[in-house]
A and B are shown apart, each in its own frame.
Chain A
Amino acid sequence: MSAAHNGSRRDFLRRSLTGAALLCAGGATDTLAVVQPVTAESGAASAKSRVVVARDELLRGSGATVDSHRMLALVDRAMQALCGCGDPLAAWRKLVRPGDTVSLKVNTLGGRGISTNVQLVTAICERLQEAGIKPGEIVIWDRDSEELERAGYRIETGNNRVRCFGTDRVGYEQELSAWGNVGSCLSKILTQYGNVLINVPVLKDHDGAGVTIALKNMYGIIHNPNKYHPNGCNPYVADLNMLPEIRSRMRLTICDATTAMYEGGPGYKPEHSWNANALLVSTDPVALDHTGWQMIERKRAEKGLKTLKAEEREPSYIATAADGEHRIGTNDPKKISIVEV
């Protein structure tokens, strides 16, 4: 393996997100076959959507903190399984190519306890650079810089480094983008800072929507998410994910299920969280959400809690996202291939 995998380099990259400078990664490039995002046209009935569930029970070692080396290995395993590659870089090169600008939409609303893990994002950034993406062309973002900082991220806006900041720094487009029941102004980070979007949500329940995973993570992109919470966020979540600015950029979802929540979301409730020590990875956000929802239901059953449906907060928007009008992906278990690694 290349020198990029040694511990000192990884530590350096990890620090870059929390305090220190970042070196530019080198790396050869080759001809790319980019995996296209699942679209209404490509989500055909004949093909199954692959959702990789990668687990590592020793992800935290003997402590509470995620081990960054093990996290990188987990990301590698997940990506190899997703793309059917024997080498993690080959997997990433199927998704991105030199010249791409990549934005990573994390989820930091819940604070440090239930936000997208910094070590996960560090691992993704490391592999992106090795796949030929310049550091200055990677942006880690969410709606608010303070929320990012509370979740452990360091705000960085320098041109030659992996950048990290919130929409509050650059604002929203002035024109509305509309589809169905949704009409919103989009974050300029989405529209102006990347042609590739990697969605990096967390796995948790939501007191209104049922669950908030990949599809609902897009609420952090719009200026008016509060308008789209009635009726369990249905059909708003699905309609939002139909916006061309999102669909044209969405390449991959890596759901951080290292810490997950089964009750009391979206705010952090440690008493209702568990160390799932897992990642869910897919190019089909609907299939991923369906899979994540079932994980939450199993944990709820284990804890003696009612189903989300019994609590009148079944995440109906997932089915809407899969329906004939949207076809963002599939929620049909017969069309989802879950690969456990």
Chain B
Amino acid sequence: MFCELDLQNAVRGPLDRRSFLKCALASGAALGGGAALASVAQPAAAMPAAASESEDDARYVVEAKFYQKLANRKIKCKLCPRECSVGDKERGYCGVRENRGGTYYTLVHSRVCAAHVDPVEKKPLFHYLPGTIAFSIATAGCNVNCKFCQNWDISQSRPEQVPSHYMPPKSVAEMAKQYDCPTIAYTYSEPVVFAEFIMDTADAGHAAGVRSIVVSNGFIQQDALKEAYGRMDAVKIDLKSFSESYYSKVVTGQLKPVLDSLVTLRKMGKWTEIVYLVLPTLNDSDAEFRGLAQWIKANLGADVPLHFTQFHPAYLLKNLPITPVETLERAKAIADAEGLHFVYIGNVPGHPAQNTYCPKCRKMLVERVGFTASEMLIKNGKCPFCQQPIPGVWHV
């Protein structure tokens, strides 16, 4: 089974559509097993001398939403807090939105560079339709540059550098249904930067009876958040740290807009879970864990699931070691002590903190083996032992 974080081991190089889909959806997946990987992105390797692909590329180019026209053919992007001021012929920081003569365009609408069928637990979402599978897609691009990114080969690439296939919204919805996926997941790179595509695809999915979930850094402006993530049925936010300094130096982003996004998602009533990737020596202090847990409880409530996940060396931080399990356990202990009800440890297969326990009677309610929910005892949204309500969306 391939991990959501394991894209780099996938088949590389361009595939035709049939091969792409065959790889993406090759069976072998029992419930929770996950399908084989599709062709995924690498910065383009030795490509044959090619004729211009401008006609094909035009399919992916759609006028962007969330921007403001300025004088002299410049624009200001209003999608994420960077608010890139972009001159004619230039692109924003994300590399996938371009100013052409004073009109701003997304270059990645329907331009899918990764497609998998994954267990929903792999997002990770533990309180949303456990045991089901999600049709998971991504385009190139990202609006930050995390030094530890495991998917940097697509997130830090421009779309023309990455083998992609034309997969318009209705096709995505059809494929999700074809493979019995109750949800479409927008993930791997950063869905903020392909907002137009996720909006249209979520609409197509809902029309076909398929839900949408987004796996995101939450670094998005409020108006775009409400319009784009307002269409989502569940959201997982990667909260990289609880420090502006870390966000600046390691992520090249900002903390406060992400916290604002979390608060807004709560007000919108969106089911939200939070992942905190723990990097040894960089964001693993007691003070940071405590501050994070206190903020979550005060602003989002004690029932928001929080996942402390194990870092593995990648991209520009290959010098750091894997997060010790003891560090993750320390983080969990602090968050538990602050009163959070559902604190998990991720990327450590077999750890008991991957299971869900009733916050009242402490009985195990959902047992997980890897990314598989092997036992699910929650009935009607409650603990079957003490009738404590267990927040989440438990059934399709």
User: Do the beta carbons of B42 and A224 come within 8 Å of each other?
Assistant: no
Query: A185–B52 Cα gap in the complex (Å)?
Result: 23
Question: What size tier do the contact residues of chain A reach?
Answer: 20 to 34
User: Do the beta carbons of B49 and A157 come within 8 Å of each other?
Assistant: yes
Chain B residues with CB below 8 A from A208, complex form: 85
User: Do the beta carbons of A146 and B52 come within 8 Å of each other?
Assistant: yes
Q: How far in angstroms is the closest Cβ of chain A from B372? A: 33
> Of the candidates B85, B89, B156, B315, which one forms a contact with A227 in the assembled complex, judged by CB atoms under 8 Å apart?
B156
Chain A residues with CB below 8 A from B47, complex form: 168-171
Q: How far in angstroms is the closest Cβ of chain B from A111? A: 8
User: Do the beta carbons of B45 and A183 come within 8 Å of each other?
Assistant: no
The answer, yes or no, to whether B103 is at the interface (CB within 8 Å) is no
Known contacts A207-B85, A230-B252: A224-B158 contact under CB 8 Å: yes
Chain B residues with CB below 8 A from A230, complex form: 82, 93, 252
User: Do the beta carbons of B50 and A226 come within 8 Å of each other?
Assistant: no
Query: A227–B158 Cα gap in the complex (Å)?
Result: 11
Q: How far in angstroms is the closest Cβ of chain A from B321? A: 19
Q: Convert A151-184 into 0s and 1s, putting 1 for each residue whose CB lies closer than 8 angstroms to a CB of B.
A: 0000001000000010011111110101000010
The answer, yes or no, to whether B161 is at the interface (CB within 8 Å) is yes
Chain B residues with CB below 8 A from A188, complex form: 46
* Interface residue count on the B side (C-beta < 8 Å): 34
> Of the candidates A174, A183, A224, A267, which one forms a contact with B88 in the assembled complex, judged by CB atoms under 8 Å apart?
A267
Query: A168–B73 Cα gap in the complex (Å)?
Result: 27
Which residue of the partner chain A has the closest CB to B145? A227
Known contacts A146-B52, A224-B156, A230-B252: A176-B315 contact under CB 8 Å: yes
Q: How far in angstroms is the closest Cβ of chain A from B135? A: 28
Chain B residues with CB below 8 A from A168, complex form: 44, 47, 50, 160
Query: A171–B12 Cα gap in the complex (Å)?
Result: 13
Chain B residues with CB below 8 A from A265, complex form: 87
Known contacts A174-B45, A223-B161: A267-B50 contact under CB 8 Å: no
User: Do the beta carbons of B315 and A266 come within 8 Å of each other?
Assistant: no
Which residue of the partner chain B has the closest CB to A185? B43
The answer, yes or no, to whether A136 is at the interface (CB within 8 Å) is no
Q: Convert B48-83 into 0s and 1s, putting 1 for each residue whose CB lies closer than 8 angstroms to a CB of A.
A: 011010100000000000000000111000000010
Binding site for B on A (CB under 8 A): 109-111, 145-146, 157, 165, 168-174, 176, 178, 183, 185, 188, 207-208, 223-224, 226-227, 229-230, 264-267, 269
Binding site for A on B (CB under 8 A): 42-47, 49-50, 52, 54, 72-74, 82, 85, 87-95, 145, 147, 156-158, 160-161, 252, 315-316
9 contacts between A and B (CB under 8 A): A145-B52, A168-B44, A169-B50, A183-B316, A208-B85, A223-B43, A223-B158, A226-B92, A227-B95
